[in-house]
Structure 1
Amino acid sequence: MPQLYLVVDDLDQWTHTLAGEAVISFETYLTEHPIKGQKKTRIINLCNTDQYLSTGYYCSLLAEAREHKVLPPANTLTDLSSQQLTLVQAAEVLEDLDQKDLTRTDDGYAFRIYFGRTALPQLKMLARRLFERFPCPILEVRLAFLPGAQAATAVAPNEAVAPVDAVDDSVTADSWQVRSVHAIAFAQLDEQEAPEFVAALEKFTQSVWRKPRSSKASRWDMAILVNPREKLPPSDAKALKKMERAAQKMGFAVEFIGPQDYARLGEFDALFIRETTAIDHHTYRFARKAEIEGLVVMDDPTSILRCCNKVFLQDAFTYNDVPTPLTRIVSSGSDASLDTLESVFSYPIVLKIPNSAFSVGVMKAEDRTMLKKMLNELLAKSALILAQEYLYTEFDWRVGVLNNRPLFACRYFMAKGHWQIYNHGEDRIGSGGWETLPTYEVPKAVLDAALKSARIIGDGLYGIDIKQQGNKVYVIEVNDNPSLEEGVEDAFIGDELYMQVMSEFARRLENRGR
């Protein structure tokens, strides 16, 4: 079990007794650590963090340099030092605030969060979400209630207020806003607050950082991010179970985590994202935090950034001579733009929002009237839209690539009576059939195009969609976090598919000396 240390500015400040925890001063941590032979160490930094180069900041920074898991991580302290950035992020979680029980005062409403916990029932969800976003032992939060007329413009002296439109669609509505969020040192708690903090600390260390792992000793800890509420997850339950068994064979203790476990990433050595990714989404924040904290993460945030935007893909494909359908980037639904598109394309014309997934946000215009209507509809959601020639095929190739090597190959057939693989009807989502083949039976042109396009993105796990007409192939897109479902992508090589993925995680950890 990893050794846990609580680091404080001055040992005289700590008068509490906790079973199993070692309390040390920052000076001791600075001069006597790391301890030789002590492989896994976790640090809870309770030092003063109110300044950029404070002891608390250096405590977290040194912990990361020593490969110790630390709370809070240095990047969180850096984020909190920029209140404008902090408040924009904090505004995203205000939707969970139960406003009816809060007292409106001129000074606002202040409260403290201890490891994501608060004694105020109406603020429990908000406290947990803020801790997920800013994982610090102690956070001091101040809320302000602003009438609609003031909400869009009011700024307190020396404090930035998150914009109303980050919280609510209407800038004229009355609303609570986050006025400030700060990390607080243990020494700043008074006699009444300290016992509440210690109780939260005990619960946190017992239920989270001291949670028992597998009875069998494992070399590494892996988190697999899933979301049971997702309608079209990239892996089904049977595939996830096979991943878990493969990971265990490679020396991993596996835990399935969800969106609520953001603050726990420091517990793990590796993160495997098995939830559909997006940029303005917790999946990207998980990937970014995991990368910063030194985890092996698949897929990495750079791959997510590149794959989740088809404008980037199209530009990169063009620059690198990857074969693609005839494509134009559109920024206007004006008549002049329609004239230009009609001079380039024949109907039907395919329109795509850049961050579409599973065929959502992809439309087919059969004539000018439909083109104008669909284009304006999509431009209301994105400043740029892709217009693309329509290529009829009975199926799309999907070539899975891992670290620039072929992993699997499938033919995904179009949904019955539809022009796409997925048909999003009013009551249900339909899809076509599939056929899985050995990668050595894939036409060379298809395989070459898949590998060439994957190299543009990186060395992660990708699914490349390709259309083939005769001897010509066209790369449609590269997907990070591709589907890995039992009986589909693994139909040819079976459990070996999951073993290869987990072997890659192990290889990367080995190369880091972990």
Structure 2
Amino acid sequence: MNIIVLSRNPHLYSTQRLVEAARQRKHTCEVIDPLKCDIIIEKKNPAILYKGRVLENVDAIIPRIGSSVTFYGTAVVRQFEMMKVFSVVESQALVRSRDKLRSLQVLSRAGLGMPKTVFSNYTKDASEVIASVGGAPLVIKLLEGTQGLGVVLAETNNAAESVIEAFHGLQARVIIQEFIKEAKGADIRAFIVDGNIVGAMKRQGKEGEFRSNLHRGGSAEIISLTDEEENAALKAAKVLGLGVCGVDMLQSSRGPLILEVNSSPGLEGIEAATKKDIAKSIIRYIERNV
């Protein structure tokens, strides 16, 4: 098969592993920057032009679309879909998962547990918002933040009011979430491929850091999920329509709480923690569907 990895950086660990896994299974694989694709819209003949050549005979694509290029990256994925090319992550599911507010609403409607969350449209009454999630300590997140950037832990109500007012002053939209103390600065990531959990790890923030992101210096170790955690992760992936994703959860006294669902999860941390060939699982997912 001819497989394309849509990635802006061919040197990233995840991109390299996907190419390596595809070639090991005797497929042709190419890395293409979605921002350098020209979309040709024509009746009954959609096409994509890349560096002066028309992309033809493509069997499948693996979108690795960064959050900063979601709009155009998703348009390229949609164009491939119009060309009857299989996508590991569908364009609509990609858009749905990138909108943090929308994805939380979808997860909530499906009955999944999550930290109590408030979104407001630049409210002037920050104290009321703070009270509605149970008061400080609480977590304030930028809607567009990734990898732990734009996430603040406010330990007092005054600090929370100041942060919320500062973000609003910058015209930055935020969500306010209750702080889950019993999680102790750790979260769980379940990696899902084609409706199956192919790996799971527990990420622990470094000392004095409540964010567990590996990019922020956190550590990871393999973990066995409980039945409740497995069911929550699988249901989250299903309701968002994602064939490949990372589901981030907190362990709490009231069961697993979904933090977010990542439609372009990195492979480095999960493969290092679990010693599993996750990239191969993604290629086999393509083989089953093309």
Tell me how far apart the structure 2 counterparts of residues 305 and 260 of structure 1 sit (CA, whole Å).
17
Identity over aligned residues, as a percent?
21
Tell me how far apart the structure 1 counterparts of residues 218 and 89 of structure 2 sit (CA, whole Å).
26
**Root-mean-square deviation (Å):** 2.6
Q: Does residue 1:409 correspond to 2:200, yes or no?
A: yes
**What's 1:370 paired with?**
159
Is the 8 Å Cα contact of residues 303 and 460 (structure 1) preserved in structure 2?
no
1:33-432 counterparts in 2 under 5 A?
220-228=1-9, 236=13, 239-262=14-37, 263-264=49-50, 266-267=55-56, 268-278=58-68, 280-335=70-125, 337-379=126-168, 384-392=173-181, 393-394=183-184, 395-422=186-213, 430-432=216-218
For 1:122-168, what per-residue CA distance to the aligned partner results, in whole angstroms no more than 9, with x for missing partners? xxxxxxxxxxxxxxxxxxxxxxxxxxxxxxxxxxxxxxxxxxxxxxx
Q: Which runs of 5+ in 2 are unaligned?
A: 38-48
Q: Is the alpha carbon distance of 1:457 and 1:435 closer, same or farther for their aligned partners in structure 2, counting shifts above 3 Å?
A: same
Q: 2:105 is paired with a residue of what secondary structure?
A: helix
> How far has the Cα of 1:325 moved from its partner?
0.8
> How far has the Cα of 1:503 moved from its partner?
1.2
Q: Identify which range, 242-251 or 457-466, moves more after superposition.
A: 242-251
Tell me how far apart the structure 1 counterparts of residues 171 and 23 of structure 2 sit (CA, whole Å).
43
> How far has the Cα of 1:498 moved from its partner?
2.0
**What's 1:436 paired with?**
222
Counterpart residue type for residue 323 of structure 1: G
Tell me how far apart the structure 2 counterparts of residues 303 and 278 of structure 1 sit (CA, whole Å).
17
**What's 2:288 paired with?**
507
Is the 8 Å Cα contact of residues 147 and 213 (structure 2) preserved in structure 1?
yes
Tell me how far apart the structure 2 counterparts of residues 381 and 432 of structure 1 sit (CA, whole Å).
29
> How far has the Cα of 1:501 moved from its partner?
0.7
Q: 2:216 is paired with a residue of what secondary structure?
A: strand
Is the 8 Å Cα contact of residues 308 and 356 (structure 1) preserved in structure 2?
no
For 1:227-275, what per-residue CA distance to the aligned partner results, in whole angstroms no more than 9, with x for missing partners? 339xxx9x51xx5444223212444201122245413373322221234
> How far has the Cα of 1:491 moved from its partner?
4.3
Query: Which structure has the larger Rg?
Result: 1
Tell me how far apart the structure 1 counterparts of residues 70 and 270 of structure 2 sit (CA, whole Å).
29
Is the 8 Å Cα contact of residues 8 and 35 (structure 2) preserved in structure 1?
no
Tell me how far apart the structure 1 counterparts of residues 97 and 36 of structure 2 sit (CA, whole Å).
24
Counterpart residue type for residue 492 of structure 1: T
- What TM-score does the superposition give when structure 1 sets the normalisation length? 0.49
For 1:36-66, what per-residue CA distance to the aligned partner results, in whole angstroms no more than 9, with x for missing partners? xxxxxxxxxxxxxxxxxxxxxxxxxxxxxxx
Counterpart residue type for residue 143 of structure 2: P
Is the 8 Å Cα contact of residues 248 and 260 (structure 2) preserved in structure 1?
yes
Tell me how far apart the structure 2 counterparts of residues 380 and 269 of structure 1 sit (CA, whole Å).
47
Q: Is the alpha carbon distance of 1:266 and 1:477 closer, same or farther for their aligned partners in structure 2, counting shifts above 3 Å?
A: same
Q: Is the alpha carbon distance of 1:248 and 1:340 closer, same or farther for their aligned partners in structure 2, counting shifts above 3 Å?
A: closer
Is the 8 Å Cα contact of residues 277 and 304 (structure 1) preserved in structure 2?
no
Is the 8 Å Cα contact of residues 277 and 283 (structure 1) preserved in structure 2?
no
Count of residues paired in the alignment: 273
Higher fraction of strand: 2
> How far has the Cα of 1:224 moved from its partner?
1.2
Tell me how far apart the structure 1 counterparts of residues 274 and 156 of structure 2 sit (CA, whole Å).
42
Tell me how far apart the structure 1 counterparts of residues 136 and 180 of structure 2 sit (CA, whole Å).
11
Q: Which runs of 5+ in 1 are unaligned?
A: 1-219, 424-428, 510-514
Tell me how far apart the structure 2 counterparts of residues 383 and 319 of structure 1 sit (CA, whole Å).
26
Q: Is the alpha carbon distance of 1:288 and 1:374 closer, same or farther for their aligned partners in structure 2, counting shifts above 3 Å?
A: farther
Counterpart residue type for residue 76 of structure 2: F
Tell me how far apart the structure 2 counterparts of residues 316 and 381 of structure 1 sit (CA, whole Å).
28
> How far has the Cα of 1:385 moved from its partner?
2.8
Is the 8 Å Cα contact of residues 9 and 15 (structure 2) preserved in structure 1?
no
**What's 1:461 paired with?**
244
- What TM-score does the superposition give when structure 2 sets the normalisation length? 0.83
> How far has the Cα of 1:343 moved from its partner?
4.7
